[in-house]
Structure 1
Amino acid sequence: METLESVFKAMSDFLWGPPLIILMVGGGLFFLVLSRALPYRHFGHAIAILRGRYDDPSDPGDISHFQALCAALSGTLGLGNIAGVAFAVSYGGPSAVFWMWITALVGVATKFFTCTLSIMYRGKDSLGQVQGGPMYMIREGLGSKWLPLAFFFCIAALVGTLPIFQINQLTEAVREAVLIPEGVINEQQAGTFNLWFGILIAAIVGVVIFGGIQRVGATAAKLVPGMVIVYLACAVLILVINAPAVPGAIASIFTHAFETDLSGMAAGSFMGVVITGVRQGAFSNEAGIGTEVMAHGAAQTREPVREGLVAMMGPVIDTLIVCTLTALVLLATGTWEAGSDVAGAALTARAFGDALGIFGPWIIMVLIVIFSMSTMFTFWYYGAKALGFMIGAEHQDWYKYFYVALIVVGAVASIEAVIFLITTGYALMAIPTMIATLVMSPRVMEATRDYMKRHADEL
């Protein structure tokens, strides 16, 4: 297992090296400059769109602007905020959060551009159904010569959208936050528990996605916004309890942000901290990764720019608000220094337990159950769409078998192996998404200028 972790870590670190960081962060800065920060100046208009002011049932698409944003956030809000931030802080130190902020700030512009294109260049699958996603964006917007880039994205998406992170953190939360502290199982029994728990969850997910029981997934999706509110309320309460430590926690985020000697941290160097922060920031808000293009591409609208304006709110909500609160909880309580024996969701559960007593771990466990299960019920769709693009939509259901099997694997794998494998997939997905968006960015600006001119009196 250690060898596998080392392989995945080496792959992730290599892919998330300076070239990809330049592509992601530099690309976001390019979009910001090209647009002259236009998206940042129209959050009020974006909120009006979200409230349904411009909804038209006759427009093409399947879901409203608000539902599209919720669909995108359901894949980002949750475990990325609870476990992903904990991993970033424990591995890269407090200053990894600084670089997560950078990805969010430029990610606003990135999501505006990618999700405007998601509506501009929707396509049809082999069954004639309208679909969105980077693969369709590339095919419809750039033509057949660029199809290899579209297939590259699809292959990467088969890895990046696997359920192993969700099941891994669900298993860890139940085991480390509840069962072991309560004496239900001991450390020696943990491995056996992981396997059987993974099989149980795989069976549940299998029944849902093979049986087409959409009601369960829809119910879980409705619970996510409420659970996020509960999580934010608990996080704020913990910060109030630890108010004297909050200024120091904020200061620690900036302490090592530009230092070059960080040999005492797991990340090992300044570049290691940058890689950790950017990698986990992208994992959290998904700006430029391509999953956001698939989610927002289903929006019911004839105005691509409107969906871009809605999508840009994602990194603000996800990273600048929710991830920041998680990081401050870990730093203000001092839990982030727990050591290598605790990571991910278990680390956040410990912080909640230290501050809120016996209720803390249980709160985290309930949240993780809701977040992970709702994501596993729906995330297979991204991988299935990618497979359908490559071999035909009539064959995309084969992905479900692979997806369910990987749930068992994710339950018994280590958090490091899981994180590095998924972030490897995200890195590979980001390459075609960002390249295509950069090439077509002038078209976005042309559409934006036209939209702003036509709706000048409403802005």
Structure 2
Amino acid sequence: MKKIDSFISEIASLAWGLPLLILLIGGGLYLLIRIRFLPFRYFGHAIAVLRGKYDNESDSGEISHFQALTTALSATVGMGNIAGVAVAIALGGPGAVFWMWVSAVIGMSTKFFTATLAILYRGKDSEGKVQGGPMYFIIEGLGKKWKPLAVVFSIAGLVGALPVFNVNQLTQAINDILLKPAGLYYGFSSDLIIGVVLVLITSIVILGGLSRISKTASKLVPAMVFFYLIMVLIILVVHIDVLPYYFKLIFTDAFSASFYKGDAFLGGIVGGIILLGIRRGAFSNEAGIGTAPMAHGAAKTNEPIREGLVAMLGPAIDTLIVCTLTALTILVTGVWQSSDANGVSLTATAFADGIPNFGKYALLLCIAVFSISSLFSYSYYGTKCMSFLFGAKYKEYYNYIYIISIIMGATTSLSMMINLIDTFFALMAVPTMTATILLASRVIKEAKKYFKSLKLK
């Protein structure tokens, strides 16, 4: 097992090399400069769209703007924010958070483009149903000769959409917070039982299709995000005396990498911390990876720019707000230096320190809701990829593969799961970003037309 773990780690490092860094960050900056920060001026309008002001039941699509965003967020607000940021700090120190911020700001522009394209170039599956996502905007926007790129995205998506990391971290949280303190942890047997329970819960929802997934996510995600933020704010208020110091340390350590423990990149440790922050940022908000456009592509709208604006809010909520607050909680409590824990266990230690007795159990509730809601969304992404590759009539078979993978996630190591998903996220990002950059001029043309029409109203 150690050899397999080491092999997957090497593959992940290779996949997240300089070419992908240039494509994700360089490509995102290119998109941001090309559109001259235009979408950022319309935050108020984006919120109005999200609230349903422009909803029209006669428009094409399956779900509302709000449901599309919460479906996408249910996949990203969760372990990427709670465990992913903890992994970044454990390995890179406070400075890694700064580079996650950079990834998020650039990612907002990327999501605007990819979600707009998901509506602008919707395609049809083998059953004639309208679908959105990178595989469809590649073919509809660039032409059928680009189909191999769409196929690469969909094949990588079959693995990238598996819930193994979220399941792994939820299992670890249940063991560390509940079972081990009570003397009820029995190793592999406990992990397997947790996996089986998650299989049963997930099966009930995902076999009900997108409608049930989006309705469940739209109810669970906002409530849990609010509850999570309240707990974090309590911890930060208690440690208000050291908060300014650690907030400043995020900026200074980003360029000194004093606490970085990983491998050098581009000849130095600062390069290493930049890469770490971008990898964890991409894992957190999935900007440029291509998963979220599959959810946004199902939004009920005939105005592509509106969905692009809604999607742009995702990285702001996900990384700039939730990840930042999680990071500050870990930093101000000091557990990042006093504990050997990693991933979700490090965050749990911070909550136990910040809110004694109650904190870790409240965190476990959030983790459970975030993780389980993400299980629902990722299954939808995988079935979309399956449908594109093999036909819509076979998409339900993916759910059975997906359900089996939950057992694998519950019973294997954190490093193997995070490196596995990182690798396939990298493979998904290549076709997504390539097509987005090639189609950027069409999005810009559509944006100028839409924003001009707003001024005339």
Normalised by the size of structure 2, how large is the TM-score? 0.95
SS of aligned partner of 2:248: helix
- Shift of residue 65, structure 1, vs aligned partner: 1.6
- The letter for the 2-side match of 1:170 is L
- Shift of residue 231, structure 1, vs aligned partner: 0.4
SS of aligned partner of 1:289: coil
The answer to whether residue 91 in structure 2 is matched with residue 95 in structure 1 is no
Q: Is the 8 A contact 2:168 2:412 kept in 1?
A: yes
1:263-296 per-residue CA deviation (whole Å, 9 max, x = no partner) reads x614553222112110110111111111111011
Matches of 1:160 and 1:409, distance apart in 2: 14
SS of aligned partner of 2:254: coil
Q: Is the 8 A contact 2:67 2:217 kept in 1?
A: no
Matches of 1:119 and 1:219, distance apart in 2: 23
The answer to whether residue 191 in structure 2 is matched with residue 191 in structure 1 is no
What residue is the counterpart of 2:133 in the other structure? 133
What residue is the counterpart of 2:236 in the other structure? 239
Bigger shift: residues 293-302 or 250-259: 250-259
1:66-124 per-residue CA deviation (whole Å, 9 max, x = no partner) reads 22111111111122111111111112221111110001111111111111111100010
Q: Is the 8 A contact 1:9 1:417 kept in 2?
A: yes
The answer to whether residue 121 in structure 2 is matched with residue 121 in structure 1 is yes
SS of aligned partner of 1:445: helix
SS of aligned partner of 1:54: coil
Matches of 1:209 and 1:51, distance apart in 2: 26
The answer to whether residue 214 in structure 2 is matched with residue 222 in structure 1 is no
The verdict on how the C-alpha distance between 1:213 and 1:450 changes in structure 2, with shifts beyond 3 A counting, is closer
Instruction: Map residues 375-390 of structure 1 onto 2, 5 A cutoff.
Output: 375-390=374-389
SS of aligned partner of 2:278: helix
The verdict on how the C-alpha distance between 1:338 and 1:181 changes in structure 2, with shifts beyond 3 A counting, is farther
Instruction: Map residues 248-287 of structure 1 onto 2, 5 A cutoff.
Output: 248-259=245-256, 265-267=261-263, 269-287=269-287
CA RMSD of aligned residues (A): 1.8
What residue is the counterpart of 2:303 in the other structure? 303
- Shift of residue 56, structure 1, vs aligned partner: 1.2
The verdict on how the C-alpha distance between 1:121 and 1:212 changes in structure 2, with shifts beyond 3 A counting, is closer
- Shift of residue 395, structure 1, vs aligned partner: 0.9
Matches of 2:208 and 2:313, distance apart in 1: 34
- Shift of residue 35, structure 1, vs aligned partner: 0.5
Q: Is the 8 A contact 1:118 1:134 kept in 2?
A: yes
- The letter for the 2-side match of 1:95 is G
- Shift of residue 256, structure 1, vs aligned partner: 2.8
Matches of 1:446 and 1:11, distance apart in 2: 39
- Shift of residue 216, structure 1, vs aligned partner: 8.1
Q: Is the 8 A contact 2:124 2:130 kept in 1?
A: yes
Question: Structure 1: where are the runs of 5+ without partners?
Answer: none
Matches of 2:213 and 2:68, distance apart in 1: 19
Matches of 1:383 and 1:410, distance apart in 2: 16
SS of aligned partner of 1:195: helix
The answer to whether residue 82 in structure 2 is matched with residue 82 in structure 1 is yes
The answer to whether residue 411 in structure 2 is matched with residue 412 in structure 1 is yes
The verdict on how the C-alpha distance between 1:349 and 1:261 changes in structure 2, with shifts beyond 3 A counting, is closer
1:343-398 per-residue CA deviation (whole Å, 9 max, x = no partner) reads 11111111000010111110111111111112213321111110110111111111
- The letter for the 2-side match of 1:240 is V
- Shift of residue 3, structure 1, vs aligned partner: 2.0
Bigger shift: residues 210-219 or 388-397: 210-219
Q: Is the 8 A contact 2:210 2:380 kept in 1?
A: no
Q: Is the 8 A contact 1:380 1:403 kept in 2?
A: yes
SS of aligned partner of 1:298: coil
- Shift of residue 255, structure 1, vs aligned partner: 2.8
Q: Is the 8 A contact 2:123 2:130 kept in 1?
A: yes
The verdict on how the C-alpha distance between 1:277 and 1:223 changes in structure 2, with shifts beyond 3 A counting, is same
Normalised by the size of structure 1, how large is the TM-score? 0.95
- The letter for the 1-side match of 2:331 is L
- Shift of residue 195, structure 1, vs aligned partner: 2.1
Instruction: Map residues 39-438 of structure 1 onto 2, 5 A cutoff.
Output: 39-185=39-185, 189-210=186-207, 218-219=215-216, 221-259=218-256, 265-267=261-263, 269-340=269-340, 342-438=341-437
Q: Is the 8 A contact 1:220 1:373 kept in 2?
A: no
- Shift of residue 260, structure 1, vs aligned partner: 6.7
SS of aligned partner of 1:257: helix
- Shift of residue 420, structure 1, vs aligned partner: 1.0
1:29-78 per-residue CA deviation (whole Å, 9 max, x = no partner) reads 11111011101111111112122221111111111222211111111112
Q: Is the 8 A contact 1:220 1:370 kept in 2?
A: no
- Shift of residue 184, structure 1, vs aligned partner: 2.7
Matches of 1:338 and 1:434, distance apart in 2: 40
Matches of 2:13 and 2:210, distance apart in 1: 39
SS of aligned partner of 1:202: helix
Q: Percent identity?
A: 51
- Shift of residue 212, structure 1, vs aligned partner: 6.2
Matches of 1:224 and 1:46, distance apart in 2: 19
The verdict on how the C-alpha distance between 1:287 and 1:212 changes in structure 2, with shifts beyond 3 A counting, is closer
- Shift of residue 153, structure 1, vs aligned partner: 0.2
Bigger shift: residues 392-401 or 233-242: 392-401
Question: Structure 2: where are the runs of 5+ without partners?
Answer: none
Matches of 1:120 and 1:403, distance apart in 2: 30
- Shift of residue 209, structure 1, vs aligned partner: 3.4
Q: Is the 8 A contact 1:114 1:288 kept in 2?
A: yes
1:403-447 per-residue CA deviation (whole Å, 9 max, x = no partner) reads 111111111111111111111111111110000000000001111
Count of aligned pairs: 453
- Shift of residue 223, structure 1, vs aligned partner: 1.9
- Shift of residue 207, structure 1, vs aligned partner: 4.5
Matches of 1:422 and 1:225, distance apart in 2: 26
Bigger shift: residues 92-101 or 215-224: 215-224
Matches of 2:304 and 2:445, distance apart in 1: 12
- The letter for the 2-side match of 1:442 is S
- Shift of residue 133, structure 1, vs aligned partner: 0.7
Q: Is the 8 A contact 1:82 1:345 kept in 2?
A: yes
